[in-house]
């Protein structure tokens, strides 16, 4: 199949003409990749099981992993759900359009082919003007997973989508690089206490402010034992994985054992207030912790370089000057979580292209957007974390 690529001239003044063909492809059961504020999505008609099948095939994704239905306005939600619980209403009002997906009990209208056989449906109303207008013009809810080949980092530019999807889908809409860079927050509002299934740019702190009580699915915090099922089926797959072997280095308190998954699970989120005293309020780390972490990254990368491997180092703008060996790349500014989230997936793809064997990365505090950043990095590392 030949994949057509169109470029949006001005994201803030979209002409319907530009999106007409894309909308018509979606309506007639074809696939179109499009930008959203989080990552690029691979869209198909959410009410059409054949379109869902095509999405799974194009991504090479297991079909028990449900898709998010994207809508362009709140009125489009009612036909897709059995009910909108109070918590869902509050969150819609506070955060839609935006990077928040909610899980509702599904109506008969939504096929099981879209929900991976579940009786619930995930719904999101994106804020991106291209996405929003496209969905409105299509006139159907648009099922859209991230537009990457299953297992690869999510795409944050149209070029990333092109690398993975050229020849597999009808069209790619190039709307420039995305703003946020990590996928939407997922909150299950179908249960008594709303539960966060995937952290994102709508942070725990923001959710708690609106809802009061929020719980966190254990799949977010660390690797699951074989008998536990994450509520978001997608969280069980090894996601976001770079080709190289990635290790995260976390600052230790000096009391913990080396490495292992338990520490991730046990690493509770710390707020700015309860981090170590003496910590820089912007980075949450004191200078000694920061230096120890940098030394460890340097030591681990040197060992591998001396053994003849090609090594990548993930540092920050602030620590760039501390590294001399290996392919050293900054993921963003430690004092700007948004910059780190924005660059994360593009950097993992860059290391894929460089063909490094090992990557060693600095880590980040887990408050605010840091929870999503560390969730994605920890998963990419297969929870390989050294203190």
Q: Which residues of the chain form contacts with ligand TXA (CB under 6 A)?
A: 36, 38-39, 41, 65-68, 101, 103, 115, 118, 120-122, 124, 144-146, 183-184, 186, 197, 231-235
CA–CA dist 363, 293 (Å, integer): 8
Give 224: exposed, middle or buried? Use CB within 10 Å, 0-12, 13-18, 19+.
middle
Q: Considering the complex, what minimum distance in angstroms separates the CB of residue 36 from ligand TXA?
A: 5
Give 304 or 368: the residue with its C-beta nearer to ligand TXA: 368
Min separation Cβ 259 and ligand TXA, Å: 27
230 or 260: CB nearest ligand TXA: 230
Nearest residue to Mg ion on Cβ basis = 146
**Residue 286 Cβ, how far from ligand TXA at the closest point, in Å?**
34
Of 72 and 146, nearer to Mg ion (C-beta) is 146
Tell me the site size for Mg ion, rule CB under 5 A: 1
For residue 44, cis peptide bond before it (omega within 30 degrees of 0):
no
Convert residues 144-183 into a mask of x (bound to Mg ion by CB under 5 A) and - (unbound).
--x-------------------------------------
Listed residue (82, 72, 76) closest to 121, CA to CA: 82
State in angstroms the smallest separation of the CB of 270 from ligand TXA: 26
User: Which residue lies nearer to Mg ion by CB, 145 or 251?
Assistant: 145
Stretch that binds Mg ion, among 124-132, 141-149, 293-301, 363-371 (CB under 5 A): 141-149
- Distance, in Å, from the CA atom of 47 to the CA atom of 25, rounded to the nearest integer, reads 14
C-alpha distances in Å from residue 17, one per residue of 14, 34, 65, 133, 134: 8, 16, 34, 11, 11
β-pairing, 32-34 vs 171-174, is: parallel
DSSP per residue, 177-203: S-SS-SPPEEEE-SSSS-EEEE--SS-
The rounded radius of gyration (Å) of the Cα atoms in the chain is 21
Least separation in angstroms between residue 121's CB and ligand TXA is 5
Is the Cβ of residue 34 or residue 358 nearer to Mg ion in the bound state?
Answer: 34
Which of ligand TXA, Mg ion, none does residue 334 bind to, with CB < 5 to 8 Å depending on kind? none
> What separation in angstroms does the CA of 103 have from each of 27, 82, 162, 181, 216?
24, 11, 30, 22, 14
Nearest to 25 by CA among 61, 8, 56, 1: 1
Burial class of residue 182 in the structure, from the number of CB atoms within 10 Å of its CB (0-12 exposed, 13-18 middle, 19+ buried): buried
Q: Which residue is nearest to ligand TXA (CB)?
A: 234
In the bound state with Mg ion, the residue whose beta carbon lies nearer, of 233 and 252, is 233
| Residue 67 interaction partner, one of Mg ion, ligand TXA, none, beta carbon < 5-8 Å per kind | ligand TXA
Residue 43 interaction partner, one of Mg ion, ligand TXA, none, beta carbon < 5-8 Å per kind: none
Would you tell me how many other CB atoms lie within 10 Å of the CB of residue 139?
12
Residues lying near Mg ion in the complex (CB under 5 A) are found at 146
């Amino acid at each position: 199949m030949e994949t057509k690529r169109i470029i949006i001239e001005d994201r803030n003044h979209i002409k319907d003409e530009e999106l007409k063909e894309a909308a018509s492809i979606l309506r007639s059961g074809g696939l179109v990749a499009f930008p959203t504020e989080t990552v690029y999505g691979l869209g198909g008609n959410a009410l059409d099981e054949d379109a869902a099948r095509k999405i799974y095939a194009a991504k090479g994704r297991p079909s028990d992993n449900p898709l998010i239905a994207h809508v362009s306005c709140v009125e489009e939600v009612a036909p897709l759900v059995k009910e909108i619980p109070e918590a869902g209403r509050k969150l819609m009002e506070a955060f839609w359009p935006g990077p928040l997906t909610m899980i509702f009990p599904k109506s008969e209208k939504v096929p099981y082919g879209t929900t991976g056989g579940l009786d619930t449906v995930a719904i999101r109303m994106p804020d991106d003007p291209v996405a929003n207008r496209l969905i409105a013009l299509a006139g159907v809810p648009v099922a859209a997973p991230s537009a990457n080949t299953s297992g690869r980092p999510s795409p944050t530019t149209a070029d990333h989508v092109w690398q993975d999807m050229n020849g597999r889908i009808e069209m790619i809409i190039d709307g420039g690089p995305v703003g946020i860079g990590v996928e939407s927050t997922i909150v299950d509002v179908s249960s008594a206490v709303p539960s966060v299934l995937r952290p994102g740019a709508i942070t725990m702190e923001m959710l708690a402010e609106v809802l009061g009580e929020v719980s966190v699915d254990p799949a977010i915090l660390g690797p699951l034992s074989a008998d536990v099922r994450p509520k978001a089926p997608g969280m069980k797959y090894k996601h976001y994985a770079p080709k190289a072997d990635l290790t995260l280095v976390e600052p230790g308190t000096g009391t913990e054992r080396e490495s292992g998954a338990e520490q991730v699970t046990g690493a509770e989120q710390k707020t700015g207030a309860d981090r170590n005293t003496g910590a820089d309020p912007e980075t949450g780390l004191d200078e000694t912790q920061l230096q120890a972490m940098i030394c460890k990254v340097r030591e681990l990368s040197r060992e591998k370089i001396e053994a003849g491997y090609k090594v990548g180092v993930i540092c920050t703008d602030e620590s760039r000057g501390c590294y001399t060996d290996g392919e050293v790349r900054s993921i963003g500014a430690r004092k700007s979580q948004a910059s780190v989230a924005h660059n994360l997936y593009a950097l993992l793809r860059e290391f894929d292209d460089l063909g490094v064997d090992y990557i060693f990365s600095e880590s980040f505090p887990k408050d605010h957007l840091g929870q999503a950043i560390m969730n994605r990095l920890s998963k990419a590392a297969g929870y390989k974390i050294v203190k």
